[in-house]
Structure 1
């Protein structure tokens, strides 16, 4: 009897062991794969290629000063910023608000930043509500300050300023609201960027007195930053930077970023620059990142993005601009309504984008196989400016209305029709100097070629196309009641040989009038439309 009970227990233990062994995923590798080996098996994850719209908060300590431009940490040490006019108020504002930079420098601005009203749950919930399918937070900027709990760098948001692990908090909220989460890194240029911190005034009361970039750990005795080394933040003075020191900086950057991509288990890593930061050091970070995802999940469901060239396993990022044709690989355009960091400089309060232009960018990018990553300019306390909430609400209303034409959409044979509509309109209308200048400045060089509120509006007949599940979506960018002609949808067109039987407008039960001939499709745009921005028409079984 005792023997039988023992045998039963043995069976139970064996069964439990087998059950545990099959229920626990085992993705561990014998060795870390090289970047080249990882590239061979890499595929862009569906969550990214189907997202089309993401939100980025380009937010950090440089939002704390209300004026001084987005490079405040650099420009506050420059009495004359030369042609970098976006920072021309930084020095004056700093002296007036904090003190002279020979005594009170950027390190002290870091300590002033508290992010006291940051609610990452509320932000992520809102961003999902307006249609964002991924979210990105700034991990560090050119100022080198880490917005995460770095064990390799003391100048971080847990030790200074907010005393919070900002990247960690966003990570937890992203998991809670089931949204892919990314981080952006910008600090690989800090050594050159910080050089003004080692200068001094050229004139005035403090002429020749060194700025606080020259301060040492000893200078902190009895001050709030006692025990911390300014040289860790600003770097060594240029004359003390040996080749060995430069390698030490690069190695430290690598350690910080390896920790960033593994500890927070991110889905998306964005670099601000061309290629891998610090070359092989940046490649090693990406290698660690992809291996980490492979070990954790059995697949590399992650994205590395930046201004890369000839690197097929990365996403091409285009700053404030977009592709001028359909690209065969995923890409994204990044932009911001006004400035990258929230500022109130008196000559830079005008918005470059409104809901209309943001929607137009999204439509144009997705018709060419791209995503739009839109920055939200958080206030220093971590909340969204009221005027930007209004703008985002309008964008979100349009996205939620037309989501079937957005998420998981693919480009058609061509990205649009009536592509020269702006030129035609300007030929017919009396236009202003601003219109002509905006058209003249529009470039095909991708970066910084985006259309803004200052650009001439699209003609009423210009459209973009997306497709999904045998459905063609025709998106009229600047709709107006009346007829438009689309040659690409004529029966003799090389792109469309099928007879169109019905057309619907998303969000409306209005019967859509149309006529298809061998040369073109004539589409009647009704006056009663569900949204005042771009109208989306649906053609099934094309």
Structure 2
């Protein structure tokens, strides 16, 4: 285990991967990740204690005029008397059962699991030698990440983790603007340190520029996670794209890839925007996706609710069908879905979250053969409705209908998923229409059989409009999967 920056650099000096983009681009996307398709993300930490607004409570409670600022004073008192750190004793996780969590995630059909190890608030959910502000020493006094890792591996889930420490450079800075418990002098090791003024957080060159001391601390924290928990994949939020992080991101990536080579474990890094050079990791699209198939592998992450990544008392939940459509849309375009759930502060998972996860699992148990291990087909799909490309383009508000179809391919068959069948008794797949040399369809080969997943063989025929398939309508307007088998 490397505990110092010098030791980290010594590992890299002797390793296969060097801290430059050319060397790091030689790490392939793990085969298990391409096979898995569906993972679960959890945002859980001190910010869940107030159950208010969202996971940025620790920032917003120190900004005058923000609803969280007023809520905090009304509920807990002035910030100088009850600050964010005072949530730590209230974060007891008394109902936390890691085996129950991962059993639910496996029941939902997930193949990998991404708990957040440290969010922007700076409280580590794991045992650390670098800071005493962690769950093993304070609050629940348990190595929460370690327990989740053991439980996940115990049921066959790939264990991954997420680090959002980069944004802590400025996340608590507003607390210095009035009489609060965020006070100077702040030194390395303090919970709120460094609490710098918040920049335009999309400015790649913003000042005040992160210091060497802070950047080295970030590097050490991530490498500690790598060594102690051996995640099969890492995820970072957007601010590591800042210019100051670039050399440290390269060092961290090389260290991770070199350690993974020692373990004999295929790993990867999910990143947003262009925080890593192209080909050095896996692009992640937050709450969004792409309009067309992509030649590169990617992931979308979204939450079970529209308005928060953590549990609150006012969640605007998405419907199960919307989440299934998100999964199908991503897989048809060469991507994965990472779905976030927010456990409550006591460690329990709310009934609505549980219900949605179980409904997803029920659907995947019937329809998963065209998902797991699949590849994209010639066409991602057909129909009038499609997501707009980019981040923050969630499906909420979009109206899919019986003509909206997504395709995958697996084990020699083509799978067609009707996203919103709306009780239709017949489907028309225009990609399989009769061959015409002046209007050639995407598919032109003898078809052996067509099956509706969960039902069995169904009647079908082909005409100039397309492949006409007789359907058995399902409950709740769930997407219908069709398996098209060729001779």
TM-score, L = length of structure 1:
0.79
TM superposition shift of 1:488: 0.9
Structure 1's 502 and 162: CA in aligned 2 closer, same or farther, altered over 3 A? same
2:315 is aligned with 1:349: yes
1:49 is aligned to 34
Over the residues paired in the alignment, what is the CA RMSD in angstroms? 2.4
TM superposition shift of 1:162: 1.5
Does the 8 Å CA contact 1:481/1:524 hold for their aligned counterparts?
no
1:472 is aligned to 414
Residue-by-residue CA offset, 1:311-351 (whole Å, 9 max, x unaligned): 2121111111111111112111111121201111xxx4332
1:16 is aligned to none
1:117 is aligned to 95
TM superposition shift of 1:372: 0.6
Consecutive unaligned residues of structure 1, counting only runs of 5 or more, are 1-27, 82-87, 201-209, 218-228, 423-441
TM superposition shift of 1:31: 1.3
1:156 is aligned to 134
Structure 1's 501 and 243: CA in aligned 2 closer, same or farther, altered over 3 A? closer
Q: Following the alignment from structure 1 to structure 2, what is the Cα–Cα distance between the partners of residues 275 and 180?
A: 24
Residue-by-residue CA offset, 1:463-515 (whole Å, 9 max, x unaligned): 11000121001111111333332221123234211132321111113x42221
TM superposition shift of 1:190: 1.6
Which of 31, 37, 40 is residue 14 of structure 2 equivalent to? 31
1:426 is aligned to none
2:201 is aligned to none
Which of 472, 480, 483 is residue 535 of structure 1 equivalent to? 480
Does the 8 Å CA contact 1:275/1:308 hold for their aligned counterparts?
no
Which of 186, 191, 200 is residue 233 of structure 1 equivalent to? 191
Structure 1's 29 and 451: CA in aligned 2 closer, same or farther, altered over 3 A? closer
TM superposition shift of 1:58: 1.2
Between Structure 1 and Structure 2, how many residues are aligned?
A: 455
Structure 1's 275 and 142: CA in aligned 2 closer, same or farther, altered over 3 A? closer
Does the 8 Å CA contact 1:213/1:231 hold for their aligned counterparts?
no
Q: Following the alignment from structure 1 to structure 2, what is the Cα–Cα distance between the partners of residues 107 and 43?
A: 41
Q: Following the alignment from structure 1 to structure 2, what is the Cα–Cα distance between the partners of residues 40 and 455?
A: 37
2:429 is aligned to 486
Structure 1's 504 and 132: CA in aligned 2 closer, same or farther, altered over 3 A? same
Q: Secondary structure at the match of 1:286?
A: helix
TM superposition shift of 1:144: 1.4
Q: Following the alignment from structure 2 to structure 1, what is the Cα–Cα distance between the partners of residues 255 and 454?
A: 46
TM superposition shift of 1:530: 7.7
Does the 8 Å CA contact 1:364/1:464 hold for their aligned counterparts?
yes
Does the 8 Å CA contact 2:12/2:255 hold for their aligned counterparts?
no
Q: Could you list the structure 1 runs, at least 4 aligned residues long, displaced by more than 6 angstroms after superposition.
A: 242-245
Does the 8 Å CA contact 1:68/1:93 hold for their aligned counterparts?
no
Q: Secondary structure at the match of 2:106?
A: helix
Q: Following the alignment from structure 1 to structure 2, what is the Cα–Cα distance between the partners of residues 481 and 372?
A: 27
Greater radius of gyration (CA): 1
Q: Following the alignment from structure 1 to structure 2, what is the Cα–Cα distance between the partners of residues 230 and 313?
A: 31
TM superposition shift of 1:444: 2.4
Does the 8 Å CA contact 1:507/1:530 hold for their aligned counterparts?
no
Residue-by-residue CA offset, 1:16-64 (whole Å, 9 max, x unaligned): xxxxxxxxxxxx9991230446535422112100111101111111001
Q: Following the alignment from structure 1 to structure 2, what is the Cα–Cα distance between the partners of residues 30 and 236?
A: 31
Which of 511, 516, 529 is residue 462 of structure 2 equivalent to? 516
2:394 is aligned to 450
Which of 195, 199, 205 is residue 177 of structure 2 equivalent to? 199
TM superposition shift of 1:107: 1.1
Which of 66, 71, 88 is residue 51 of structure 2 equivalent to? 66
Does the 8 Å CA contact 1:405/1:468 hold for their aligned counterparts?
yes
Structure 1's 406 and 238: CA in aligned 2 closer, same or farther, altered over 3 A? closer
TM-score, L = length of structure 2:
0.88
Structure with bigger RCO (C-alpha 8 Å, 6+ apart): 2
